[in-house]
Amino acid sequence: MIINGVAIDDTFAEAFGMRGIRLIITAYNETWALHSANALTGFATSVIACGAEAGIERMMSPDETPDGRPGVSVLVFAVSSKELIKQIERRVGQCVLTSPTSAIFAGLDEGDPVPMGKTLRYFGDGFQTSKQIAGKRYWRIPVMDGEFLVQDTARMVKAVGGGNFLVLADTQVQALEACEAAIVDMRKLREIVMPFPGGVVRSGSKVGSKYKALSASTNDAFCPTLRGATKSELDERIGAVLEIVIDGLTDASVKKAMEVGMRAVCRIGAAGGIRRLSAGNYGGKLGQFQYHLREILK
């Protein structure tokens, strides 16, 4: 399969079942809502060492948010319910409670409970107050700029983490620009985030390592500088490979994001130095979800 001179590998992305949650952070203005959201979703590129994968889903206008202020919708994913609950408590406590003028609300109405205000309220040292409004409980925690308003409980759902595709290009810059174009289009979609810096990752990994302590190591088959020295997946034209990883609240949203991203890359095509699209997988042995590139781009 070739689209606009870009060869589509007959392979699939392998993704995993995760737990995902949507939270809505609001503040006095968009800038401060973003400060808080950036902090909450910071250092959350990969569950391997961050505990969570997270990103900003979209900006929200005042008429869309629960308290009528500018807001940011964020998505956070973790490998288990227990880990997600731990991550949310820490991240909301350290990144939203602390952020001037902020408030935080659940972005999903259905799913399993994740305590927010329920545990953070104790920061109020007895001065915290709860209010039940329209069937939902909120906590008001006195802080130095007024009150921190936090919903008692958010909801998490079964989600998908690790949808991906690889962009193989003549040069590093061409690969990067194609990924940037893909990210611009993908960020228009709902229910997904691309957790890596700028949405793009260069350090694709394989399972295992020559070092016993490491469970994963560099994906040498896709490293252009090792082309001659290892069992390479790259031909002599490929100068750089970049990957876009997608976490989504549903199987369909991840699939859609992959399609939108890959089509953006294909639009640039061979004329822009894009040679191939591929994907990362573990032979189908580890992940619950498989996204076959050719099927998606059919």
Partner 1 sequence: MSALTFTLRSAPAQRVDAGMLTPTALAGQAVSDIAAIMLKLGKRALRADELFDIAGDDTTDIVFRGDCSKLERIGAGMKSGRVTVDGDAGPYVGQGLLGGTITVAGSAGAFCATGMKGGRIDIVGNVGESAGGAIPGEMKGMAGGLLLVGGNAGDRLGDRMRRGQILVGGNAGDYCGTRMIAGTIAVAGTLGAYPAYGMKRGTLILNALPAQMLPTIVDCGAHRLGFLSLLYASWKGLPGPFGALDASACTVRRYMGDMAVGGRGELLVRG
Residues of the shown chain interacting with partner 1 in the complex, contacts defined by CB under 8 A:
66-69, 103, 126-127, 129-134, 138, 140, 146-147, 149
119 vs 151 by CB, closer to partner 1: 151
117 vs 273 by CB, closer to partner 1: 117
Side-chain half-sphere exposure of 80, counting CA atoms within 13 A: 4
One-letter amino acid identity for 48?
I
CB of 191 vs partner 1, minimal distance in Å:
25
Asked whether the CA dihedral 68, 71, 77, 82 is positive or negative, the reply is negative
92 vs 166 by CB, closer to partner 1: 92
Give the whole-angstrom CA distance, residue 66 versus residue 149: 11
114: number of Cβ within 10 Å: 25
Q: List the structure tokens of 154.
A: 């958010």
Q: Which of 227, 247, 246 is nearest to 236 (CA)?
A: 227
CB of 143 vs partner 1, minimal distance in Å:
11
- Strands 103-106, 146-151: pairing is parallel
CB of 75 vs partner 1, minimal distance in Å:
23
CB of 140 vs partner 1, minimal distance in Å:
6
CB of 124 vs partner 1, minimal distance in Å:
10
CB of 146 vs partner 1, minimal distance in Å:
6
29 vs 218 by CB, closer to partner 1: 29
133 vs 271 by CB, closer to partner 1: 133
73 vs 253 by CB, closer to partner 1: 73
Whether the CB-CB separation of 84 and 76 falls below 8 Å is answered with: yes
Give the whole-angstrom CA distance, residue 237 versus residue 170: 6
Give the whole-angstrom CA distance, residue 262 versus residue 185: 10
